[in-house]
Structure 1
Amino acid sequence: MARDVARTRDDLALRVREDGTLELRANGLFVMDTAETSTERALATAALAQAGPGPLTVLVGGLGLGFTAAAVLDDDRVERCVVAELEPRLVAWLRDGTVPHGPALLDDPRLEVVVGDVADLLSPGTGPSYDLVLLDVDNGPDNLVHNANAALYAVDGLRKVRQVLRPGGRLVVWSADRSSALAAAVTAVLGRCEEIELPVRLQGRDEAYWLYEGAVASQP
């Protein structure tokens, strides 16, 4: 049994279970909770493990409950982390403590939260600005929370990501399901794609989530 602790008019709901776990749902779909956060953190750590000595600038698409951004900021090489979050109330829930760890996270001076679509930060003319781009704006290309995000996972959308990555920069995309189409799109844009399986235990069930990683060639 769970009860809502916060809800928006467009059906973004933050719920608390009987054991105190917070659960985020959008349009009735499970998005994430505070019980299993390993894959949100792995989205950051998998990319950071391959990054250079720094300083690093990171773009995260999707704030969620803050665990990806927190893992980014745990790395001392990170000088700046920009997070794009479409839902202003989600940002507010972290800022006002409805999500208990939110205020401390958002108080980190290296963190900049932009309320808006991550696609707007990939507009032409932006130029190479980021060492890492991490995308977790849906449950992956086959489980969209917002249908308009489909373009982000296609070749044209990933080309926009490519243009903001510095030489040697990396893209990592989180997905709830294995996606051959996403792997093919990342390969088409970046030349190769590594598919990483992440086993998880969700409410008594063994499941798997997936990361799709590619990189821009370093300068000679």
Structure 2
Amino acid sequence: MKPFLTLAQARTPEGAELTLHSHDTEFYIRVNRQPLMGTNASESEKVLAELACSRLGQHTAPRVLIGGLGLGFSLRRVLECVGAGAHVQVAELLPEVVAWNREFLTTVNGLLLDDPRVEISVMDVFQILAQAPSGHYDAILLDVDNGPIAMVKEGNGRLYQAQGLATISRALKPGGRVTFWSASQDSAFARRLAKAGFKVEIVGCKAYPQAKKKTHTIFVGDRS
């Protein structure tokens, strides 16, 4: 049996321990020793991207913002969905995660960071949204933390409250779409999203294609 290896470690600004691991051909990220994501369960991250980009067909140069790089699966699917004129900005809070993609995950999605359509911003996605011109983005994908319930950084929760949703709405073009990844269902968040003026759709999805249950949730919000 091949060993479960620890490849790298990092600390979040609030002190949580983030670790990168490998086992056989798979890679995993844990936070405080708890599973956060893995290459063996990336299906919902791809669905997050597909739903965000499904209305971009007529846009020759869409602006897309991805909150959270992770293992790069959402980035890969976005780049597959958009054309050569797209600009895809990826906000990743931890520079170590960007470095891990370049150093350890080139066989996964790390090479995508050098795609000419991609801009990597090492900063909090909330700050990027707050500083963006009004109506700047055609689509926004948020795979931040564990969804509305923060696991990595307590401050991530503001994205899912009224202030964060108003900031997202302002940064989106009219008719733009935001998608949120969540490890679980959250009816209270769906109500907040609707109250913020979004047309809401809730999509259950599998962690991996052969899964029997849809254990993850994608919240879709269309700005009217």
Calculate the TM-score normalised by the size of structure 1: 0.90
SS in 2 for 1:122: helix
**Structure 2 residue corresponding to 1:15, chosen from 17, 21, 25:** 21
Mapped partners of 1:187, 1:204: distance in 2: 30
What's 2:185 paired with?
A: 178
Deviations 1:38-66 (A, max 9, x none): 11111000121233411211001000000
SS in 2 for 1:8: strand
Deviations 1:152-181 (A, max 9, x none): 101111110000101110010000000012
| Percent of aligned positions that are identical | 35
Conserved 8 A contact 2:43-2:206: no
Given residue 192 of structure 1, which amino acid in structure 2 is its aligned partner? K
Cα root mean square deviation, aligned = 2.1
Aligned length: 216
Conserved 8 A contact 2:72-2:109: yes
The alpha-carbon deviation at position 200 of structure 1 amounts to: 3.2
Conserved 8 A contact 1:39-1:198: yes
SS in 2 for 1:16: strand
Given residue 74 of structure 1, which amino acid in structure 2 is its aligned partner? E
Long gaps (5+) in structure 2: none
Mapped partners of 1:52, 1:75: distance in 2: 9
What's 2:58 paired with?
A: 53
Point out the more displaced range, 74-83 or 115-124: 74-83
SS in 1 for 2:135: coil
Mapped partners of 2:96, 2:33: distance in 1: 17
Residue 156 (structure 2) pairs with residue 149 (structure 1):
yes
The alpha-carbon deviation at position 125 of structure 1 amounts to: 6.3
Calculate the TM-score normalised by the size of structure 2: 0.89
Mapped partners of 2:185, 2:203: distance in 1: 9
* 1:161-200 equivalent positions in 2, closer than 5 A: 161-200=168-207
Conserved 8 A contact 2:92-2:124: yes
Point out the more displaced range, 97-106 or 54-63: 97-106
SS in 1 for 2:155: helix
SS in 2 for 1:134: strand
Deviations 1:59-96 (A, max 9, x none): 01000000101111112336100010011101001122
The alpha-carbon deviation at position 207 of structure 1 amounts to: 5.1
Given residue 50 of structure 2, which amino acid in structure 1 is its aligned partner? T
Point out the more displaced range, 47-56 or 28-37: 47-56
Long gaps (5+) in structure 1: none
What's 1:69 paired with?
A: 75
**Structure 2 residue corresponding to 1:3, chosen from 2, 5, 19:** 5
What's 2:122 paired with?
A: 115
Conserved 8 A contact 2:72-2:110: no
Conserved 8 A contact 1:193-1:212: yes
What's 2:48 paired with?
A: 43
Point out the more displaced range, 74-83 or 110-119: 74-83
- Give the 3 Å change call, closer, same or farther, for CA 71–38 of structure 1 in structure 2: same
- Give the 3 Å change call, closer, same or farther, for CA 76–150 of structure 1 in structure 2: closer
Residue 102 (structure 2) pairs with residue 95 (structure 1):
yes
